[in-house]
Amino acid sequence: MPTHDTAELLGFSEKNPYTAVRTQVNLDEIILLPQPRKTFEEIPELGMSILFNKLIYLPVLAYFNKEQFKRYLSILSELWRVPLSIENYLFFGVHDIEKGEIYYKVLIDGERRVRACRYYQQHGCDEHADVRGCYKLHFGNEKVEATLCLNISPIKALGLQSTANSHNRVPAHEDAVFLDQFFRMILICDQKYPITRFAKLVGRSPETIRNAIKFCLLPEEIRNMVPAEIPYGIACEVARLHNFGVSEAELKGWVMMTIVQKQKIPDFRKVVNDFMRQQQSGQTTLFDLFSDKQRAELEKRGYKLIVSRHMINAVWQWINYFDTLLCLFEEGKLGKEDSPFSIKSPLKVFKTLIEKEKKLLPHLECLLPEKKYKEAKITLEKAESLIIRLESISQQ
């Protein structure tokens, strides 16, 4: 059964009817709140298109009274873990004389379009010097045409927003976090609420919801690799392995494999399926799926990836450190008397770096041209001589 407080918070009723009307709304009355989409690209370009082609798909707004708006803010605070209070939005409230209440126009769908309209309301287009007059010339006034949803419950508004995002896709991993958290909130109200019913509410397939839930159960380190290092689809397959009982350490091995082999999602899905079948038949490790030659190549490429991903960043941090020292020396801010650092601090780092490079140099002899190798060796010898002199000075 739903818990009373949470059910009241959500306004838990999907059957609550609402009416959608087409109207014009002042841009500064529209309230933008956190939503699944976090990135909004090409706003000026979209604004230019809207100025000359008008709005084809209208922004959709929820028309909340004060109590509905407070419930909606409470849901979003829980959903996105950010503090949201109605006191921060009192300026946006509009007095509805006919109904005798204060109402709030909250954006459900079309944030890129609203941002684009606001952009050109503030900046105008290249053809008009009068910025405010530019927007009015194109639209006839300072408003934007929109669809206003009357008598809509907070949960229905969230469902409508999610359905809209299924047509104008947000990044899959961002959408997954929203779906997972939204579904968990509904389960607080009704522990037996079926995934199939929730899928209809948010305009997704049940499989999409299940993948989102599994994805959000992955270790944070793996989730954070999406989308820069692995696509969401690969992460979903890794989530299947996680659900299958594969350890976190082994999961990282699977992720490494997909990166170094540049696997496509369908190919990786087949590998995962084969692994699950074979493990149920007695095979126990990822590497049982590969020949000795393939395992050796995977290990070698994995080492290369570790060096390129982690160590190169560390090297550049050293370089940035010495760049900072160089600037301080050149500006006269780093010296024996007025230095903000102990002279031994950069000296110790410099000495350690030289020692490590001396140990590395013999391994590079067969890789570098003879001339480059000799230059590197001479440079290190000069650096080592300088270290000895600096150590002598610092002890005086």
pLDDT per residue as tens digits for the range 135-162? 888 888 888 999 999 999 888 899 888 8
Q: Does 321 fall in a domain?
A: no
Both 276 and 348 in one domain: the answer is no
> What pTM was estimated for this model as a whole?
0.60
Both 221 and 162 in one domain: the answer is no
Q: To 10 degrees, what angle do helices 172-189 and 195-202 make?
A: 130
Give dist(CA 169, CA 180) in Å, integer.
16
| Residue carrying the six token digits 């019913």 | 197
pLDDT band at 307 (very low <50, low <70, confident <90, very high): very low
- Which of 246, 271, 289 terminates a domain? The answer is 289
Least confident among 91-100, 124-133, 282-291, 325-334 = 282-291
Both 10 and 154 in one domain: the answer is yes
Question: What's the confidence (pLDDT) of residue 85?
Answer: 92
What DSSP letter does each residue of 5-64 carry, written as one string?
A: HHHHHHT--TT---EEEEEEEEGGGEEP---S------HHHHHHHHHHH--SS--EEEEE
CB 157 within 8 A of CB 202: no
The residue among 104 and 394 whose pLDDT is bigger is: 104
Both 225 and 149 in one domain: the answer is no
What SS3 state is found at 95? strand
| Residue carrying the six token digits 């490429």 | 301
Both 150 and 16 in one domain: the answer is yes
Q: Does 187 fall in a domain?
A: no
Both 149 and 232 in one domain: the answer is no
Q: Does 197 fall in a domain?
A: no
Both 8 and 138 in one domain: the answer is yes
Both 382 and 266 in one domain: the answer is no
Could you report the per-residue pLDDT of 158-169, keeping only the tens digit for each? 988 888 876 667
What DSSP letter does each residue of 307-371 carry, written as one string?
A: IIIIIHHHHHHHHHHHHHHHHHHHTT--STTT-SS-THHHHHHHHHHHHHHHHHHHHHTTTS-HH
Q: To 10 degrees, what angle do helices 344-364 and 370-394 make?
A: 160
Q: Does 324 fall in a domain?
A: no
Both 10 and 143 in one domain: the answer is yes
Question: What's the confidence (pLDDT) of residue 14?
Answer: 55
Question: What's the confidence (pLDDT) of residue 212?
Answer: 96
The residue among 234 and 385 whose pLDDT is bigger is: 234
- Which of 272, 289, 306 terminates a domain? The answer is 289
Q: Does 346 fall in a domain?
A: yes
- Which of 147, 168, 189 terminates a domain? The answer is 168
Q: How many domains does the chain have?
A: 3
What is the pLDDT averaged over residues 190-216?
Answer: 92
Domain that holds residue 382: 342-394
Both 243 and 148 in one domain: the answer is no
